Structures are given as C-alpha cells and as structure tokens.
Structure 1
Amino acid sequence: MSAPRPSEPSKTKETLVWLTLLVVFGGAVFLSNARWSQITGIFTDGWRYLQLMGEGLFQNPFAEPYSEYWSLAFDRMLESVYMAWVGTLLGAILSIPLGFLAARNVAGPVTVQVTRVFLNAIRAVPELVFAIILMLPIFGFGPVAGAVALGVGAVGTLGKLTAEALEGIDPGPVEAARASGARQFAILRWAYWSQVLPEVISFWLYRFEINIRASAVLGVIGAGGIGSLLGQLFSRREWEQIGITLVVIIAVTMLVDSISGGIRHRIIAGSGTKVSTREKAEAAV
C-alpha cells in the first residue's frame, strides 16, 4: 500500500495577513479625507487641458511664435541637462573620499561611523531644501545654485553606494599588494578602486538621470533650467507653450535615459561580443 498523501498546509495565517493588510489599506483610504468624487474631473477637465496643451504641438514648428516656443524649451532643457551634469560631477568627486572613509574594510570604526552619519544627514535633506536655504542666498537665482544643490544632494547617495561597493571587493588583490610592500595610496588606487570603478561609474550615470528630473523641480524656485520656464508658463496659463515644453522634457529625458542605460549596461556586462561556434570548437581543440 502506498503512503497516505500528506495534508495540504493551512493557509489560515496567510489569509489573516492579507485580510489585515486589506483592512489597513481601506482604513488609510477612508481617513485620507480625499475628495473621491472629483476623480471624474480627470476625464473632463483633464482632457480639456490636454487638448489646450496639444494645440501647440500640431502647429508648424518653423512658424512664429511656435518656433520661438520650441527654441526656448530646448534651450532651457539643455540648461537643466548642464545643471544635472555639473551637479553629478561635483557629487561624484566629493563622494570618492567619503566613500573610502565610510567603508569598513578601509577606514577605522570611528571614522566609518562619523562618515556614515554625515552621509545619512545629507541624504535626509532634499535638494530643494539645500537650494532654498543654502545655495540661493549664496549664488542667487540661476543655474549655478541649482547645480551646486544637486551636487551636494548627490554626495550622500553616491558616497553610500561607493562605500558598499568597496566593502564587497575581492580581498585577494589587497592582500597581495600589502604583501609586496605597496604603499597605502597605491593599495587604495590599484587594489580597491580598480575593482569598484565600473560599478561606481554606473552609479554616477544613474545619479545623472535622477538629477535631470530633480533639476526641473529646482527650476520652479528660480534655480534655473526648464523648471523656471514651466513656473512662468503655468502662472500665465500659456497652455500651448506648456504642451511644447512638456514634450521637450519627456523627449530629452527619455533620450538621456536610453543613452545612459546603454552605457551602464556596457560597463557592467562588457562588450557582449558573441563567440562563434567555430571559435568555440577551435578553442576546445
């Protein structure tokens, strides 16, 4: 006789967990005091605004004043890209020494703890706060304040990611360099940094993508870029130019994301060159 089939495990605990989550979610929706009756406005007022913004997109882009709209939108978007690029470079440069000081396999425990607290404090403050409190009073209105705010904001994230990458390296090259009598700087440069460089560069590129989006928000408070243009247009309710500006933002952001993603993949995965069957056979022989 075959052994009896084991009984199916009870799903009571799993069911209770899902019911509890459902009740919590329902309570949060009820206590949010949201005006759910206004959600139908998405299909009425929202569609009307989309139509107003779309009117400028179907006009001749070389005719006045639409050529000026497109030109101004691209100029301000390039300014946002420049802000993001400068901010990323600034954050990357500052994050390198902080990443080494925050890595447990590089620095001492006290230095690591102090550096990590500093990086956590930077990450806890949004770039918008840096721009309003620190950068605008120092640099005034314009893209310089926005670029520096993005750079300072990037230090916290890039420093933490660099430290984690350093902690995950292969200790073999480090031990070999120390056994050969290499100096500390040479060990940091060739045993530590050379191992994490591809991964760290991918972090920088990803932060550049984030900074492009953040630069649009900083522009609303006068820190330059496409956000400052959008703030002016919304205040004047110039819907045709708003539609053109939004399309430029979406197009440039998607282009930068695509290029940056391709570069990151190439850095991490390599060239991806395929080996032919004949080459594999010759190698096996």
Structure 2
Amino acid sequence: MSTVETRPPASGAAPATRPRRPNPWKQVTGSAVTAAIVVLCVLTVDANWGRLPQAPGILGDYVQLMTRGVLQNPMNDPYAEYWSKAFEYMVESLQMAWIGTLVGAVLSFPAAFLAARNISPRPVVFVVRQILNVIRAVPELILAIAIMLPIFGLGPLAGALALGVGSVGTLGKLGSEAIEAVDPRPIEAVSATGAPRLHVLAWGVLPQALPEIVALWLYRFEINIRAGAILGAVGAGGIGSILTQLFAARLWDRIGITLFIIIAVTVLVDQISAWVRHRIIAGGGKDAAAAEAEALA
C-alpha cells in the first residue's frame, strides 16, 4: 500500500490556514434595511394602489386606440400628410440632440481633465466636480424653462442649448473617470523624457482616454434624443411640440403614429450608435467584429 508523504512547511513559511468564513449578518442586515426602505416608500407614497390591477386593461385599451393610425395605409389621406409632418419634427429632434451633444462635448472635454484626480490638483478637482454636480442635478426641462426659453425664445435653439448644458455634468464626470482609469506607465514614460505638461497629456493620457470619451459622447447623443422629445412639450422645438397638442386633443390615432416614429428612429439610432461605439473601443480587428455581433444580437 502506497503512503502519501506529508512534508512539513519550509522553515520561515507561515502555515497554511483556511480563509475566514464571511460574516452572514452583514448581508442579512443590508437586505433587511433595503426591504424596510422599500416597504416604507410603498406605505408613505401618495398612490392609489387599488387601481394597479386595472392597469393592464387600461393600457390595452389605449394601445388599441393608438395602433389604429399606425395600421392605416400611410399613403392615404389624411394620414399621408401627417406621417410626413411627424417625420419632419422627428428630424428636428435629431438635430437638436446632435447640436446639444456637440455643445456638451466641447464644454465637458476640458472639464473632464480638470476633474480627474490623477491630472489636476485637489482644490481644482473639488471645485470642478461640485460645478458638475450642480449642473447634473438640474434637469434639462428646468434649464429650458428657466434659462434658455426666456433668453432665446420658443424654438429648437433653446432646446438644443438646454440639452448641451445638461450634457456637461454627465459627460464631465464620466470623462474624468475614464481619464483616471488610464494606465500610468505611458504617462511616466513621457514624463521621463522631460516633456512639458501639455505633451504628457497629449501623448500619455489622451490616446488612452479618447476612445472611451468619444463612446460616452455617442451614448449621450442617444439620451438627448429622448430628452429632446420631452422639451418640445414646453415649446423648445422637436416632435414633443406636436405630441403635446395631440394629447390635449385626444387624437389617439395620430398619437400612435407619432410614438411609432419616435420609437423606430430611437431604436435605429441606438443600434447604429452601439455599433460605432464598439468599433471605437475594440478597434477594427477580430475582437471588434465579435463585439459588434454581441452589440447587435
């Protein structure tokens, strides 16, 4: 019979010990506190929970009313004219979102460097991050009503600028996090050559962070398309302006056409933007092809 030889631990080596079992009470306590908060919110919120079982039936009725216009032949009057009009307003919303994204990208790009802890001094980082927090805390709808509409009047310009200013807070914070996540070794290599600070940023930081930052710009463009549809409700241009009128008149067939165009264009832009983002981040090789297939799946 063969015997297994057990060797004593080498001199100076610590004896092998089993890892300490995690304390389950932390998870139990966290779950209990979360459940208590949820129950408290349900009990204290002013909501008529008795109507909740009626929601599927009411939703089905509204969907049936809205699909009447979508299922009609779009070449027949009066639907042909309205399909064309709704599509024109949707193009205006896309233009607002694109201009707003460009404004946000230009303003947030330097702010991202100033808010990155591995680039800027702590006092500068603190001040810039607080400014970004304030901008991010104000919704685009409030920016449009309180600032842009009184200055620029009704129209898509006010909506585009509201989207642009509202994008600065999010893009600045996410961009600073992308800069903080770069590999420090290229930065040290460029600094070791005696290059000035701007050259270090241009050759050590920017090539690593720029693909991620551009991907964030594209993602923000998708968000601005949805936000732009809401701004039209206050007269800031876009397809939301006619959608508000339709809801006031209870024209459910035209509401269905408008929502169908919003959903179809948004989904199409999301798919294209996701493909471009993966191309930027993964490059043009086999990994990029796999990432594209995963994004479009």
Residue equivalent to 1:126: 139
Match of 2:128 in 1: 115
Q: Quick one: which amino acid aligns to residue 37 of structure 1?
A: G
Superposed displacement of residue 23, structure 1: 4.7
- The answer as to 2:134 corresponding to 1:89 is no
The yes-or-no answer on 1:225 pairing with 2:238 is: yes
Please state if 1:68 is matched with 2:81. Answer: yes
Shift of 1:113: 1.2
Offset of 1:33 from its aligned partner? 3.7
Higher mean C-alpha deviation, range 26-35 or range 112-121:
26-35
Q: 2:155 aligns with which of 123, 129, 142?
A: 142
> Could you say what secondary structure the match of 2:286 adopts?
coil
Note the C-alpha offset of 1:173: 2.1
For the structure 1 residues 102 and 12, does the alpha-carbon distance in structure 2 shift closer, same or farther, using more than 3 Å as the test? closer
| Structure 1 residue aligned with 2:169 | 156
- Deviation for aligned residue 1:270: 2.2
Match of 1:35 in 2: 48
Unaligned 5+ segments in structure 1 are 1-7, 275-285
Closer/same/farther in 2, CA of residues 241 and 178 from structure 1, 3 Å limit: same
One-letter identity of the residue aligned with 1:116: R
Amino acid at match of 2:213: V
Please state how far the C-alpha of 1:17 moved relative to its aligned partner. 5.7
Distance 2:65 2:258 in 1: 13
SS in structure 1 of the partner of residue 104 of structure 2: helix
Superposed CA offset, 1:69-97 (max 9, x none): 21111111111111111111110011111
Amino acid at match of 2:251: E
**Pair 1:184 & 2:174 matched:** no
Q: 2:111 corresponds to which residue?
A: 98
Q: Which moved more, 1:185-194 or 1:214-223?
A: 185-194
Cα offsets for 1:78-121 (capped at 9, x unmatched) = 11111111111110011111111111222222111111111111
Q: Return the offset for 1:24.
A: 4.3
CA distance in 1, matches of 2:281, 2:107: 23
Q: 1:13 deviation in Å?
A: 7.2
Change (3 A) 1:9 1:102: closer
Aligned residue among 211, 216, 226 for 1:203: 216
TM-score, length-scaled by structure 2: 0.83
Structure 1 match to 2:226:
213
Gaps of 5+ in 2: 1-20, 288-297
The verdict on how the C-alpha distance between 1:24 and 1:154 changes in structure 2, with shifts beyond 3 A counting, is closer
Two-structure CA RMSD over aligned residues (Å): 2.1
Cα distance in 1 for partners of 2:24, 2:184 equals: 46
- Which amino acid counterpart does residue 103 of structure 2 have in structure 1? L
Q: Counterparts of 2:277 and 2:171 in 1: how far apart (Å)?
A: 15
Give, in angstroms, the shift of residue 170 of structure 1.
1.8
Q: In structure 2, do the counterparts of structure 1 residues 134 and 12 end up closer, same or farther at CA, with 3 Å as the change threshold? A: closer
Normalised to the residue count of structure 1, the TM-score between the two structures is 0.86
Q: Distance in 2 between matches of 1:74 and 1:258?
A: 19
C-alpha distance in structure 2 between counterparts of 1:19 and 1:200, whole Å: 39
Deviations 1:139-172, CA, capped at 9 Å, x for gaps: 1111110110111011111111111111222222
- Tell me, what secondary structure is at the counterpart of 1:225? coil
1:169-220 deviations in Å (ceiling 9; x for gaps)? 2222222222323232222222111110111111111111111111111111
Out of 27-36 and 190-199, give the one that drifted further: 27-36
Secondary structure of the equivalent of 1:271?
A: coil
Letter of the structure 2 residue corresponding to residue 235 of structure 1: A
Give the drift of 1:15: 5.7
> How many aligned residue pairs are there?
267
Counterpart-to-counterpart distance in 1, 2:118 and 2:27: 41
Residue 140 of structure 1 aligns with an amino acid whose one-letter code is G
